[in-house]
Amino acid sequence: MTAPHPFGLHRSLDPPGVLPQLARRLDATPRALENEIAISVRALSIDSASFRQLRETEQTSGEPVEDQIGRIVRERGKMQNPVTGSGGMLLGEVAAVGPRHPAAGRLLPGTPIATLVSLTLTPLFLESIGAVHRATERVEVRGTAILFARTLYAKLPADFSEEVALAAFDVAGAPAAVRRDAKPGQTILVIGAGKAGLLCLAAAREAVGRSGRVLAVEPGRAAADRARELGLADEVFTIDARDPVVMLAAIDAATSGALADLVVNVANASGTEAASVLCARDDGTVVFFGMATSFSAAALGAEGLAKPTRLSIGNGFVPGHDALALDLLRCHPALARAFADLAGRPGA
């Protein structure tokens, strides 16, 4: 094993030296090297696509889900479903922090944490597998995982349920980007009022202040009403963002033609790229967080509309995003209630 690499290249066995996510097999030796963290793993939260595939295999082959997980982790040194390619994340407590890890001295053994990156790049050694909770796609385990110097994790808070904390971490990049990029007095448009959208409304409200404006668009009547009741947005439009003409008319009227300085797209649906671009000022920015975003639809759409607007790919990692998301929930109790309600509904 060569010197431990911050991205974990030293743990890739097959092929050796590649990024761990691309490796077929990792070295899962359950001992933290000088810049690694060892985690006592308590549960795996399996990616939905992977969990569905494991259940299907159980039905066709008779091999129970827990046995499949044990076999995959033994063979690969990580829980990466070989069919779907996907992973999930894990929950546990810090067991050991290497003396040259960036958090050495600050992160104490026993701290409950969750990983914020995929199991597909996380070395994992399992001693035993316990209950499989099919409704929540969670599996109780005992084992050890390794985090590299650059592996993202978050401390689990004492004042929120695990479910709410994980849901907040999952979408934390979007409100953190809004808080970083929105300026006092600006007009911010949030497209989509799910978990990410609600957090973005709170972040936008805090960033633009009283002189700024926060607008929201959401096609579902109940979701739009929920967003309205929070009082974070100045206006919430019940509009389907897949219709660019209707969208432009609404935002043009609401802003007296000035349009939005920043458009944050957190819609689940595809086909909302043109509307996002149209509703932004020529010198504004659109940031796309929805995984249904089409790169070419966004790029060619802006060109076809002669909009020099800046287009961003939402980066799920903004330093401090996990703490910011929890703080937004703490400062806005009505938001926290609505968020917890959504976090309890799979797919919401």
> Which residue, 96 or 305, is less far from a copy of itself as judged by CB?
305
The least CB distance from residue 151 to a copy of itself, in Å, is 7
CB nearer a copy of itself, residue 189 or residue 302: 302
Minimum distance of a copy of itself from residue 48's CB (angstroms): 15
C-alpha span between 5 and 320 (Å, rounded): 23
Closer residue to a copy of itself, CB minimum distance, 60 or 296: 296
Closest CB 152 distance from a copy of itself, rounded Å:
5
Comparing CB distances to a copy of itself, the nearer of 85 and 185 is 85
Min. distance of Cβ 271 from a copy of itself in angstroms?
A: 10
> Which residues of the chain form contacts with a copy of itself (CB under 8 A)?
7, 9, 17-19, 21, 116-118, 121, 150-152, 173, 244-245, 274, 278, 288-289, 291, 293-296, 298-300, 302-319
Residue 265 CB, shortest distance to a copy of itself, in Å, is 11
Among residues 28 and 302, whose Cβ is nearest to a copy of itself? Answer: 302
Least distance from a copy of itself to the Cβ atom of residue 170, Å? 11
d(CA 84, CA 302): 33
Nearer to a copy of itself, 67 or 170 (CB): 170
